[in-house]
Each structure stands twice: as structure tokens, then as C-alpha cells.
Chains A and B, each alone.
Chain A
Amino acid sequence: MPGADKETDLSERIESFLSELKRCGSGAGSLRGSAETARETTALLRRITAQARWGNAGELMEIIRKEGRRMTAAQPSETTVGNMIRRVLKIIREEYARSRGSSEETDQQESLHKLLTSGGSSEDNFRQHFTHLKANVIEAINELLTELEGTTDNISMQALEHIHSNEVIMTIGRSRTVEAFLKDAARKRKFHVIVAECAPFCQGHEMATSLCKEDIETTVIPDAAIFAVMSRVNKVIIGTQTVLANGGLRAVNGTHTLALAAKHHSTPLIVCAPMFKLSPQVPDTPYNHTKLKSVDTILYIHILSKVNAHCPVFDYVPPELITLFISNIGGNAPSYIYRLMSELYHPEDHEL
């Protein structure tokens, strides 16, 4: 039966995606970078919408939530998966509301008046069936995919507004967004980049070689020298793994030290992060600080048995240390992030 085939095909794809996610933590999987993960997730969700059996919006949302929980459990540190799921859920809600005919604004704003007068939940559980809902949702997801594809370019286009000539810019580790940002600016301006190598995996080396190919003057420094050279740096531009709900960051380890050093020297700290990295998590949830890598990357000697060794992967950076977020929709202060988030995700979806 074609339906059964579709379903098995779908579940196969979901399973393979889950196993990809599980492997990408160790760097062995093929999903590289958050942007690709986001695209894959969204494509998969579109496929689920198209091929799964559902009658009304509520059922679809249940299916997506269930799959979403499995996906986030496979790789908790990869927050873009959860973010995309929440975006799609929001899209479904919007399309449903539009099909029902009610205007979008009243649904979004949870005013006190509305809460008091409506009495119960106002969505009536999404049980109504609309014939064009599927098509609308798929179309909206396609729009989302186009947006995802253009994020890096949108961010790079803003590069010239932030970098002047003969600047010294510092960055840490390897971020594809920052790489594209700097390369775009280098086409018109001459500046100098200092890359902190970010031990123990030393992704900074890759970043430096890649920047050199565009003839950007690059210097690689060890992590210990960050504060020593900070006094000559004009700007710090970094990427991040996740942007948290309070405007803070979860970024690669060493970023907090970098941010503190920048604060001490009053150097602006600019974070280049596309909108799909925005996550409704707050700093004190588990898995927030660490994903401990196996420690034999830092210590090979035999006394490992008598010693505790720690190798955290991520750092939390509080919003007070950040000057500016550059995303595909423009530049924002960290204090505005909560507002952007309310536009992207529905509050009920914060917990999948």
C-alpha cells in the first residue's frame, strides 16, 4: 500500500536523522554546523507534515512534538533542532488561526483583558479540520527554509557597517558565520584578525587558515594569551552555539574569559548569530554549561586514574558582557532578545 510505504519511508528517514544527530556530537556524523542541522530538521518536518497521517492541526502538532522530543533527546546540546520544531509549531498555530479567520494579532498578544474575558484556553484545541491547512503549512515551511538558506548572507551583508579599516579584530574557535562575515568585509577593507586557538580541539587553526586564503592578516594565539593581547584589540567578534532567552550565550569554552577580558578593556563584544539559534532555554537548565568531552583529549598520561580531569565544551556568557547581536534580521541589543523570542515561538511550546 502506498500509504504504508510512505510511513515506513518516513520512519526510516526519522531514524536515520536521529542516528545522525547522535553521532554528530563526536564529530563523526555528516551534519556539520548548526545551519545544516536546522535545514535538515526543517526539511524533515516538512516531510512529516506531508506524509504523516493527521486530520487536524492538533494531531499534527502532537506528532511533531513527539518526534521533536525524540530528536532533542538524541542530542541535547544541539538546540537548533528544538528551535526549528518550535518554529514549525508556531507556523501551524498561525496557519490554523488564519484558516479559522481570526486575526493574527489577537491570538498572539496575551493581554490581561483577553485572559479574563475568554475564561478558558481560546484555541479550542485545534480540532477543526481545514482542507487547505496542509498546503498552507507546507508553503510556510518552505518560506522558513528559504529564510534559513539566506541567513549567513544576510549577516555577512552587514559586515561593512561594523568593521573599519586597520582594525584589529579578535575571535575564538571556528564559526562559519563569523568566517563569512569577516571574508565579506575583507573584500573592501584591510584589517587584522587575531584568532584564539581554543584548546583542546584547536578549531582556531582551521579558522585561521581559512581566513588567510582571502588574504586577511591573521595571527594565531594560544588561549593563555587572550588577556595579554586584548589591549590592542578594537573589537571582538564571536559566533555562538546558542543564544539563550535572557540574552546570554552558550558558546565554546573560553568565551567567558574572552568576554571578561573585553569588558575589562571596554572592547565591544559582537555576537554573530542567526535567528534559528535563539532558544527559549534559560541558564540554569541542565546541560547548560557542559557537555564533557572525554578527557583523554587533554591528558594522556598514566596518572589519569588518580586525577580528576574536566573538559567542558561550552561556556555560559551572561548578557551584561555582550554589546551587540548581529542576526539575519539586523543588529540588536541583548536586552531585546526576549522580545524577538516571543515573536518566534509560542509560549506554550517552550516545553516540548
Chain B
Amino acid sequence: MGERLTTSTLLVTEEDEKKHEIIRAKGEGKELTKEEKQRLRKEKKQHKKNKKDDRGPPEKEKEKEKASVPAPSKPATQSPAHKAAPVPVNASASESPVAAEKPAKSKAELRAERRARQDSERASKQGKKEGGQQSTSSKPKATPNELQPVVKRLPDHVQVDDPVALKKLAKKLERQQKSGQGCSLNITGVKVPLRSDYGYKVSLFSHLHQYSRKNPPTQQISIPVTVIHPSIVRLGLQYSQGIIAGSNARSVALLHAFKQVIQDYSTPPNEELSRDLVNKLSPYISFLSQCRPLSASMGNAIKYIKKEISNIPSQCKEEEAKRILQECIDSYINEKIILASEAISKYAIEKISDGDVILVYGCSSLVNHILCEAFEKQRKFRVIVVDSRPRLEGREALRRLVKKGIRCTYVLISALSYILPEVSKVFLGAHALLANGYVMSRVGTSQIALVAKAYNVPVLVCCETYKFCERVQTDSFVSNELDDPDDLIVTRNGKTHLENWQTVKSLGLLNLVYDVTPPDFVDLVITDLGMIPCTSVPVVLRVKNVDQ
């Protein structure tokens, strides 16, 4: 007993000592390493624990165990309190429940101080050596993400078969209704709805959601009181019903909705805009991903917005901050989407020669734009539009091209082998480009690339750089989207065979939305940075990260 007391008192004194040291270090403008920050947080936690319950020997042993794991720096006097080498995932996992309990201020304070320190650090350009503390985890800012252990958290929408993950998601959605309120509002019993799956899922895809269009996610939300901004609700419904579809359209709609949200936002008292607005956006994003899983382009746009918001200096007035944010969003849309498509058209038109027969698939806004531009520049070509059930998006593309006056032919994807001998080039759009060179696009794209390869027809993929994504994927199963299975039902010759598919127990309908095309089927990728081969995608990602 006595021993324990002394250890804990020793800990307390050691903690205080360290705290003083850390505050001293802060004052000197040196950077606090990640380890030290984690250590500080863990010590606080321990401190609380020691105060509350008397575990006695087991806890002491636990501490001793953790201490025995090699810690990179500090001298031996402080070893019992050291934790192991930083593993970001464990840290964040253990911290998130702790963080939720702690008042938001201290975390925000730490972050602000950290940022101030980073700025001063960059300005003064000091060397980062600090008495052996910086052994493994020093990250010079010039080369980004060099050897950072990239253990990302698995997204929720591919963990449907894991009941633990589903419970966590439900809890998170519940929590978000409270955190989004702030102290002034007083809404009860309204939460971001957890949408339920529909119909029998094919066993290979039991880890993905499958929603029905007939059960919109807003059924459980009561009107008018809601924690979600109405333009976001509208957007979510438009996504889930398929009114807004297509990667660019969804991103632009999202950004416009966020502009509206920022316009209507007012900072609650005692809160900073840069922190509170980000917290406000989280339930909106959860709601949207319940309506329809986020696309890669939307994910990148959201990351950008969050970064911009958190970069707002704290002394900025609210009106000024809002104006800055609106401008940022406008410039993002302009740069990454509109101007990018102009640049891509310019490159692509070089590849279209007179007398070409161009094959396109589905409705890609970018490819349609390229073809319309090429037609305006007096290129002589004709287009073959390939379409597929159940979405039949090719009809929309056909309509737009015919309106321009381009000569078009229309076939279904099963007629591909029949029509390909006439084709000279294939232009495809992309939903995202993955870091291993695979192209993620509408289902059927890989098939077109495969058959085109068999007939030796060049395949060109057109994609803006904001759709480049750091994920890697090798097949179309692990991360995909399942659309409403009822879309496959059709009446032919007066008979609807699949009408009662739910009643038949061994029948499943599979309506995939995306598939991945291996890079050896793709000859060229046209981006706003130029024409690159498929395998250069990670290079572009790296360049982009350095720029940011």
C-alpha cells in the first residue's frame, strides 16, 4: 500500500516535472513531438484513473509492462510513465472516447498552440534535433508522407457485415446530434437516421449496404425541427433518388449546398468559427453518406473545405471568414472542375482526327464536353454511344450529342463485339483513379476496355486530378456500391419474370454501380496536368500533396 502511494506520488511529481518541461519547450518555440503530446495525454488519463480507483498491483504491473517496451527518448528517471513508440491508430482509437469526454476546449487549445508553434517553427527554420528526442518520428515538412505508417481506418460503408462496426456507426450518429447543437439549441430526440438495408443481398456483397429507393432516408426525420440544414436534406434526397448522379454533378451540388450552409451559419458564443463549423459539418456528412455513399471526388472536396475552414485565422471576423470560405469554394469549383475540363478538352481534341469513329459509354459530363468542343472546332467524326441496363444513362448522352448535331449510333453493351470493328477510338470517363493505376468507373467500363483491347482499339480515359484517390483496389468486390435491386425488374412480352423475386428464397438480384479497370487495358489518361499513363497516378498525388 505504502509502495503504491509512493509510486503514484512519484508519478505525480514526475508528471508535474514533465509538464513544466513541456511548457518550457512550448515557450521556447520548439516543436512538441507527437510522442510527447501523446505521452502528455496518456498521463492525464492515468492521473485521473489513479485518483478515482485503487487498482493496486495489477495497474502498477501494467504500467511497468508498458514501460518496458522500448521508448525512444527521455532518460531513465521518467521511464515508468513512458508509453510505447507511437502507433497512430491505437492512439487515435484510445483517444477518441477520451477526447469525447474531455471538454472540447483543451483539445482545440492544444491544436491552436501546435499550429502556432508550427508556424513559428517554419518561420525561424530551426533545426529539429533536441537531445535525442527526435529519433524515429521526425518528419521534415519538405517531403510529405514519406514513411508515415499509413494505417487508415476502414470506411464504415464496407463494414456492413460486422455488427460491432454497425453499432459504432449508430452510436456516432446519435452522438452527432448532440455535438452539432452547441449550447444554445435544445433539440431532443432527433438524430441522423440510420438507413436500413433492403432485400436479399448476394453473399459476396454482404459487407455492403443495399438500399431501396422507395424508402428514402428522410422518413425518420421529423419536420420542421432538425439538426440538419434543409439544403443538405434536399441534397441527400436528390442523391438517394438518383436525381443528381455523376461524379462532377454530385461534387458541385455538394459544394453549393455547403456554401448555403456557411451563409446561414452563425458562430455560437464562446466558440471559434474554425472549429465549430467543422463540427457542424460532420452530421451533415454522415447524413449524406447514409443517403448515398460518398464518392472519391466528394471526399476530396470535403477534405479541402475542412482544411480551409480550419485555416481561418482566429482573429478573423465572422463575415470576413464567411466571405473567404465562399471564395475558396468558388475557386475550387472553378479550378478543379470547370477549368480542368477546358484543359482536358484541349488535350483530347488533339487526339481526335477527321474520320474518327468514337465510342463512348454511358453519360460522362467530361466526355460529352470534349465531344461537343471537338465538334465546334470542326472535327469530322461520328459517335457510337454504348448503353447498359438498368440505368440507361446513355440515352441522356445521346440526347445531348444529337442536340449538338453530332452523328450518333446507339447500341446496348451486349452488342459491343458487333460494333467494335468499326470503332477507331474509345473515350471513357472515370469516377476515380486509384493509386495503383486502376480506374474506378461505372460498371461495364472494364468490359468495354477488355473488348476494345481484344480488337486493338485505343482506350483513352479522361479524368480531372481532383478525382485521384489514395485508395488501392484490385477487384470490384471489396469496395463498391449496391444499387436498388428492384431496378433490374423489367417487363418483356407482357411478362415480368422477376416480379416476386423477394418471395423466392434462392434468387438474388445484383445491381452493381462501379467496377475497376486494370491499367493494362487503358492506353492513356488525359488529365488537366497532361496526358499520362495509368501508372503515373501516385506521382500526381505526390505532386499535389507537395503543392498543398
Contact = CB atoms under 8 A, between A and B. Distances in A.
Interface in A216-268: 216-229, 231-232, 253-254, 256-257, 260-261, 264
Given A308-B409, A309-B410, A260 B506 contact: no
B539 to A, nearest CB: 27
A228 B450 CA distance: 11
A27 B412 contact: no
A269 to B, nearest CB: 15
A36 interface: no
B493 to A, nearest CB: 7
B40 interface: no
A200 interface: yes
For chain B, the bracket of interface size reads: 35 or more
Interface residues of chain A: helix, strand, loop or mixed (majority): mixed
B202 interface: yes
B310 interface: no
B507 interface: yes
Contacts of B18: none
Contacts of B345: none
A311 B506 CA distance: 32
A201 B419 CA distance: 19
B388 interface: yes
B186 to A, nearest CB: 49
Contacts of A344: none
Contact of B389 (A224, A264, A311): A224
B412 A225 contact: no
Interface in B504-540: 504, 506-512, 515-516
Given A224-B447, A228-B446, A219 B508 contact: yes
Interface string B375-414: 0000000000000111000010011001000001111111
A220 B507 contact: yes
A312 interface: yes
Interface of B: 202, 204, 388-390, 395, 398-399, 402, 408-419, 442-444, 446-447, 450-451, 454, 475-477, 488, 490, 492-493, 497-498, 504, 506-512, 515-516
Interface stretch (A10-18, A54-62, A113-121, A295-303): A295-303
A309 B395 CA distance: 12
15 contacts: A218-B507, A218-B508, A219-B507, A219-B510, A224-B447, A225-B512, A228-B516, A253-B415, A254-B414, A256-B451, A261-B447, A307-B409, A307-B410, A309-B411, A310-B419
Contacts, number: 156
A209 B497 contact: yes
A209 B414 contact: no
B412 A303 contact: no
B413 A223 contact: yes
Contact of A199 (B412, B506, B508): B412
A284 to B, nearest CB: 13
Contacts of B477: 231-232
Interface string A78-96: 0000000000000000000
A73 interface: no
A311 B398 CA distance: 16
A205 B498 contact: yes
B388 A201 contact: no
Nearest to B447: A227
Q: Give the 6 A-B residue pairs with the shortest CB-CB distance, closest first.
A: A224-B444, A254-B414, A256-B417, A224-B388, A228-B515, A205-B497
A198 interface: yes
Contacts of B510: 219-221, 225, 229
Contacts of A209: 497-498, 504, 507
Nearest to A206: B497
Residue among A208, A224, A312 with the most chain B CB within 10 A? Answer: A224
B508 A220 contact: yes
A306 interface: yes
